Amino acid sequence: MLGKQGWRLLTRPDSLCTRVIKGKYSPHGNFLSATRRKRSSETWHALLHGRDVLRRGLIKRVGPGNSINIWNDNWIPGALKLKPLLRQEHVIVEQVDELFIQGTRRWNEDLVRDSFVPWDAEEILKIKAGVRMVEDTVAWNYERTGIYSVRSAYRLLKADERQKEASAGNKSGSSYADGIWNKLWKLKIPPKIRIFWWRAVNNFLPTKRELKRRHVEQEDFCETCGEEGETLFHVAFKCPLARRFWQSAKDLVGIKIPALHPATWTRDLLSPDKVLNTDAAMIICGVWSLWAGRNARKHGRVSWNSGAAVRHISKMLEDLVCSSTTQEVRPDPLRRR
Ligand SMILES: [Zn+2]
């Protein structure tokens, strides 16, 4: 009901009601960015409450893209929170129009794939920017018409509440993705390796087995040892090169690989009851290095040496552990800050 009035404030800026309320409470600003003031009326408070619901479900429809902030605005209909799940360090794009091929409203697919984690990239590439739209417009995401309705807002609130209750009750409550992310966050590993592992857990890495499954490649043998069905598990532990690597790791830092199951090992490594966190960090960094080495070889760069790789990784972990007194701000990909 009050969301409805907020909706009117946004979409019918010239109506009398809008002008009265705006004139009184936020003469210069936008309703969505107005703050709660000490001495404002009940109506205004209630409107602001309705606004929170609105803010949750409002989405910008992409036209020119020049008014949409990639990281702060809601603009991806298929994303859980309507915006990218996480931002990788190397990414510098800020506005949606920077993702277009210059002079068009078509996505620069390479740039999109390079700037976002795979599931965000997929959802972005599904969006069709309005070619005739003069500006980006605001719509309500939870009705097909794009027009706010009390019914859908109520449904949204209910769903939020259920999720909140579930995660308060914890146990099975927090979502699968949430749980993985939390565990991953506890490990002291560099952010890029965290993202690498997230991909590994979700089976997003282009191993040859995976590429063959998707009919991208015909063959799936390991290019290092020739064994058929190259999986990350093979690259990480079974390939002769990997065995040599872990032997050096054992000699140099004393780490031993626990028994791991090929189907569940990427998740098992994140379970403190199965593997110590420090061991898990080392193993994950090791697998990352093996994967990076495998890619380098695939692209013709061959200098990869198992002993040097182990030294590099243990130094990296040492640095991380030593610098961990400075507090890291935890980005929460699944919830609003
Ligand atoms: Zn191999």
Would the pTM count as exceeding 0.75? Answer: no
Q: Give start and end residues of each alpha helix (H) in the chain.
A: 2-11, 16-25, 42-57, 109-115, 118-126, 150-169, 176-186, 191-201, 208-213, 232-233, 240-253, 265-268, 277-298, 306-322
pLDDT in tens, the chain (337 residues): 556 766 776 666 665 555 555 555 454 555 565 555 555 566 655 655 667 777 788 899 999 999 999 999 999 998 878 998 777 778 889 999 999 999 999 999 999 988 888 778 889 999 999 999 999 998 988 888 888 887 888 777 777 777 666 555 544 445 666 677 788 888 888 888 998 998 898 888 889 998 888 888 899 999 889 999 999 999 999 999 899 889 888 888 788 888 898 888 999 999 888 888 888 988 999 999 899 888 887 777 666 677 777 877 777 777 766 665 444 444 544 443 3
**Ion ligand 1: protein residues whose beta carbon lies under 5 Å:** 222, 224-225, 239
Evaluate whether 99 touches 71 at the Cβ level (below 8 Å): no
Distance 216 CA to ligand 1 centre (A): 20
Distance 243 CA to ligand 1 centre (A): 10
Distance 234 CA to ligand 1 centre (A): 6
